[in-house]
Structure 1
Amino acid sequence: MESESKQVMKQRKKQVEVLDILKEALTIFFKNTNFSIFTLLTSLPLLLLMVHFETLFQQTLVDTVRFLNHVFLSLNRRFDGGFRYHYPYQYGSRVSLDQDYTVFSSKDYLPNLIQLVFMYLVPLHVLEIGSAILTVYVSSKLKSEEERMSLKGMFQESFDASTMKGTFITSLYLLALSSGFLLAVPWIVNNTFTIGFYSYIVSALICFAALTKLLIVYLEWSAIWNMSIVISVMDGIYGVGALRVSWFLKSGDQKRGLYLMLVFFALGVCFRLPCIFLGCYEGGYGIFVQVGLFFVVNTLKWVSCMIYFCDCKERKLEKKIVDVELGKDLQSGS
Structure 2
Amino acid sequence: MKGSEMENTHMMLEQKLLEDNLAMPNQKLEVLDILKAAPTIFFKNFSFIIFLLFISLPLFFFMVYYEIFLQRTLTNILEQSHSHDLEYHRWSVVTSEVTTELRTTFSHQLVQLGFLYLVPFHLLELCTVIVTVDLASKIYAEDRPILTLKEMLYKPIYGARIRGTFITSFYVILLSTCNLLGLVWLATSYHVFWRTSDLQVPFLLFYGPVFIALLLKYLEWSAVWNVSIVISVLEGTFGVRAMALSARFNRGNERRGLLLMAVFFVWGLDLRLPCLYFRCYEGEIMGIVAQVGLFCLGNVLKWVACMLYFYDCKKQTLEKKVDVEAGREIKVVDA
Work out whether the TM-score is over 0.5: yes
Q: Which moves more between the two structures, 47-56 or 159-168? A: 159-168
SS in structure 2 of the partner of residue 78 of structure 1: coil
Contact (CA 8 Å) 1:192, 1:206: kept in 2 or not? no
Q: Size of the alignment, in residue pairs?
A: 304
Counterpart in the other structure of 1:219: 219
Contact (CA 8 Å) 2:223, 2:257: kept in 1 or not? yes
Counterpart in the other structure of 1:90: none
* Counterpart residue type for residue 150 of structure 2: K
Q: Tell me the alpha carbon deviations over residues 169-198 of structure 1, each in whole angstroms, 9 at most, x when there is no partner.
A: 111111111111111123223443576632
Matches within 5 A, 1:60-209: 60-69=73-82, 73-74=85-86, 76-78=87-89, 109-145=106-142, 146-157=144-155, 159-192=157-190, 197-209=197-209
Q: Which moves more between the two structures, 154-163 or 190-199? A: 190-199
Counterpart in the other structure of 1:92: none
For 1:127 and 1:194, locate their aligned partners in 2 and report how far apart those are by CA, in whole Å: 36
For 2:199 and 2:83, locate their aligned partners in 1 and report how far apart those are by CA, in whole Å: 16
Q: Tell me the alpha carbon deviations over residues 241-275 of structure 1, each in whole angstroms, 9 at most, x when there is no partner.
A: 10010001101110000000000001111111111
Unaligned runs of 5+ in 1: 1-7, 80-100
For 1:324 and 1:271, locate their aligned partners in 2 and report how far apart those are by CA, in whole Å: 48
Counterpart in the other structure of 2:63: 50
Which residue, out of 19, 22, 29, partners 1:16? 29
Counterpart in the other structure of 1:327: 328
Counterpart in the other structure of 1:232: 232
Whether 1:40 and 2:50 are equivalent positions in the alignment is no
For 1:227 and 1:105, locate their aligned partners in 2 and report how far apart those are by CA, in whole Å: 36
For 2:155 and 2:30, locate their aligned partners in 1 and report how far apart those are by CA, in whole Å: 30
For 2:54 and 2:83, locate their aligned partners in 1 and report how far apart those are by CA, in whole Å: 44
For 1:129 and 1:106, locate their aligned partners in 2 and report how far apart those are by CA, in whole Å: 32
Q: CA deviation at 1:287?
A: 0.3
* Counterpart residue type for residue 252 of structure 1: G
Unaligned runs of 5+ in 2: 1-20, 91-97
Contact (CA 8 Å) 1:170, 1:228: kept in 2 or not? yes
Q: Tell me the alpha carbon deviations over residues 2-31 of structure 1, each in whole angstroms, 9 at most, x when there is no partner.
A: xxxxxx89x645451111111110101123
For 2:282 and 2:176, locate their aligned partners in 1 and report how far apart those are by CA, in whole Å: 29
SS in structure 1 of the partner of residue 155 of structure 2: helix
Query: TM-score by structure 2 length?
Result: 0.84
* Counterpart residue type for residue 139 of structure 2: L
Q: Which moves more between the two structures, 227-236 or 197-206? A: 197-206
Counterpart in the other structure of 2:318: 317
Sort the Cα spacing of 1:325 and 1:14 in 2 relative to 1 into closer, same or farther, 3 A: closer
RMSD: 2.5
For 2:243 and 2:165, locate their aligned partners in 1 and report how far apart those are by CA, in whole Å: 12
Q: CA deviation at 1:110?
A: 3.0
Q: CA deviation at 1:107?
A: 7.4
SS in structure 1 of the partner of residue 147 of structure 2: coil
Q: CA deviation at 1:205?
A: 3.1
* Counterpart residue type for residue 325 of structure 1: A
